[in-house]
Amino acid sequence: MEVITAKTAGFCFGVKRAVEKVYDQVNQGKKEIYTYGPIIHNEEVVADLESKGVKVLESKEDLKNLAHGTVIIRSHGVGKEIYRDIEEQGLELVDATCPYVRKIHRIVREKSEQGKQIIIIGNNTHPEVEGIKGWCVHPAIVVGDQEAAEELRLPHDQEICIVSQTTFNYNKFKNLVEIIDKKGYDIDVINTICSATEERQLEAGELADKVDAMIVIGGKSSSNTQKLFEICKTNCVNTYYIQTLDDLELYSLPPVKCVGITAGASTPNYLIKEVQEYVRNEL
C-alpha cells in the first residue's frame, strides 16, 4: 500500500511558537502557569500541559479570581480588555498570540478608528473571531455563510473593511466577499487568511483527489482541521476525521491501494507518525 503524507501536515509556525512558549515557562520551573483558553485546539497537547501543572482559564471570571501567577495568551488571541485585566491584577503576561492574528488586531483597530464598519468573515463563536471583535472600536459584524452575506444591510455611505479568520476556507471567503461587493458598498478587502492555511488547504484538496482514502488528523474543535476535512471529503468520499490513532482503529477502511494523510495546524508530529506507521503496517 502506498501512503502519502501532505508536506504541510502538522504544527504551523504560530502554533509551534505558542506551544513552545508554554513549555518554556514550565521548564523555567514556574509553579502557577495558566493559559487563557486552551493554548491550541488539540486535546492531546492540552492534556500533556495539564499533567505538567498548566491550568486553563475558561472565562474572565476565572481570570479575575487569580491573585498571582503567569497568564499565557492563547495562539488564537484575545480582546484588548483581557490584556488590561491581566495588567490591572498585577499578573505576569506571556503573549503567545499568533503573529498573523495580531496583525488582524492592528488592522481592525486602525480601520475602525477611521470610522469603517468591520466585517469579519469567519465563525462567530470561534475564539480567534471573539478576540478580533475585542479590538474593534465599534461592534463588528461577523459573516460566516452565504445567507448572512445576502442578508447584510448597511447604509450605502458606510465605508466597510472586510477581514477574515486566519483559518477560513479561502474559496468561501472569496465567494462571500463577492456577494457583499455586489451590494455596492465602499469596501476595503484585506485577505487575512494565513498563507500557510491556504497552502495546506490547496495541498489537501489535490492529495485527496488522487488517493483512494484520506485521513485527516486534528482536534474536534480545530477550525482549520474541520476545513481540511470538508475539502478532502469533497474530493474523496473515503475521508476519515480522527484525533488520535485510537479513532482510526474504530473504522473499517475499505481495501485501498493508496492512502493520503494530512493534519491540522495544531496536530503534533508524533500523532501523524503513529498514524503513518499504523496505515503502512496494519492496513
Catalytic residues: 128
The secondary structure of 54-87, three-state, reads CEEECCHHHHHCCCCCEEEECCCCCCHHHHHHHH
Helix (H) or strand (E) holding 93: strand 92-95
229 neighbors 241 (Cβ within 8 angstroms): yes
Residues 282 and 9: their CA atoms lie apart, in Å, by 22
Residue 255, phi then psi, degrees to nearest 5 = -60, 125
Cβ neighbours around 130 below 10 Å, total:
17
| DSSP of 218-272 | --TT-HHHHHHHHHHHHH-SSEEEESSHHHHTTS-PPP-SEEEEEE-TT--HHHH
Stated length of the chain: 283
